Chain A
């Protein structure tokens, strides 16, 4: 036998065997943790996939296809006004960073060929935290308050970090490479007001379909809650009309989707999910078979779903096994979590922010993991600290950043990111905790 080639397989098989041999089935903590994982997955599937994730995928797909990204990147190019460059860099992650693979090339590009170190690091810090899917999922699962805190914290502190980086390294020239920028030409040109209405209708569907039940039974919030399905239907109708008028979808196809949805809504008024699901199926059917813009829209949305759903499912399972549902325990005892990141002390915030910076979170999996940690006693401040430093940094992407910035600047950037995330956590925990 050739040991040189075979030792890895042998080690793997031996490892799996040992794991099976000592599998802690039957101990109550382990069995309970497995059940928790399945309960958590079921809860996600019931509560979040249909109404929240699917509309969010359609929005992310539309952003990737219909938004003219070069018009945004223009403001980050060489010779751009510095103040505009900083503000655009800090918020443009919303539309530029729909996929994590786009963040690093853009960062490197802004640094080397564009507006320089400050805006580049601002973009790198805020981008992953404020893309559409991240904001929607954070607000939906961890609460609106934390969702807003995450977006606002990311934007404000990205500017602080950008300025700090620029100030610390102000004596070094940034633009090492002088090259012509190649920006993608947008294939599809649509007037701004049409785009605004189109995105508005989708955001409307997302917001109202997920409108939470308020505690009081009267007043404006309760009224909106009572009307959430008619309002959602109104936005859906508007979206359908726009697809027919501006996107070249045949009217009979849209009508063939709308009719069964209306019928189901009238027959099963207590089961809005039925009508909603048929609507999603219908729109998927006629956009996916479309040869034009609508087809591209569906293909891009489907691409996101394919990429993110399996990761999220795994993330939820892992979070369930380790941490359990809210109020339950998984493999990790609650006291450990409470001791490390409970309350709002400086050390808890720093620990959360430091751990987040080095840990790798696959796209969006930070959300279920955070939910588990909060359920086990993590404080609100440390939760925000982890949400800010987690997706922006990880050991693998630090290596790429280092190859672009060099060791010194990378160390300073990572240090600043950890400090800023800790400070945001402290601030949030003190005033909103």
Chain B
């Protein structure tokens, strides 16, 4: 019996449909994320097993990729190197950053091997598998490399030049570092692609998460900015306890992850000078930030909305602004500012002068600072953002942050932008 035409048609249609279905390409998948999760879970599963084997090293020393590529032989070297490591070193001294809303890297595992940081030469790669590792340079830095992390030593010239200090490039995973405070230079820095996180003395964690790097400062402060300014990293200043996430293109974008309980997480674009942009982000206020010196194309930011929203009204508003700075450089909106605004600006300038005096005295040299401060004001009068163009030095910036964060302007119907020329010099006084 011959099949009916309709049956044959359906069979033919089925054959075509099957062929078409077999040709549908697999969609693009985020393999990095899948790999990270697979290996991370595998690592955590293995950790529990390996904890019963205390003398096994989780450290892999991988020589320069240029010559060894992905050779597994560093494993053998790691075994030999691990024999020289001092076991049983506790990383209990490592401080776990607080106030985080997300799980932190489990870098403070007991029984991590402790390696002498001096043994790592420039170009060498240290990679952890199922266990973390602790690197120590007594009196300088002690950092813990989380499981499944990878770093490459970019600079280890602390003996020769303290400005260079120790720099490692984090290509995967997480580092928690305790840096002994030093007055001079950047003693320790972590680079994640084009973003550099430099510290002077602090306890902080840096984690790479895809195309972002999360900086978690327990105490002290770190500067985050583009690479290429070793010894004087420019950009954002994260003051602990705080947590922020940055893009890997030199930290052009920042997201503040730790916020007061009643505030939301906000993302700050690199350059926001328009009141419209201020309105867009006005709903999300966040913690106080300061930016340090920036000589790159992007402008540094001083994000102060939360400080202002907390009601930290400037207590030093009384004196009139000095000189011609306020009147000459302000926008039309600024010229029509109320007396309260004039006092607020005067307070900021006065504080800046104080900051300048302190720094000039500390340096023992005479120098002049010429910049322009653009303040973006929310309708409530709170300062959403402050941008110095060109930026100030990190020290001056940090001091200016406090000065600007304490200021408060009168309320208005719409966001405003105020530009304040800043000229600081001993000769001018």
Do A and B assemble together? no
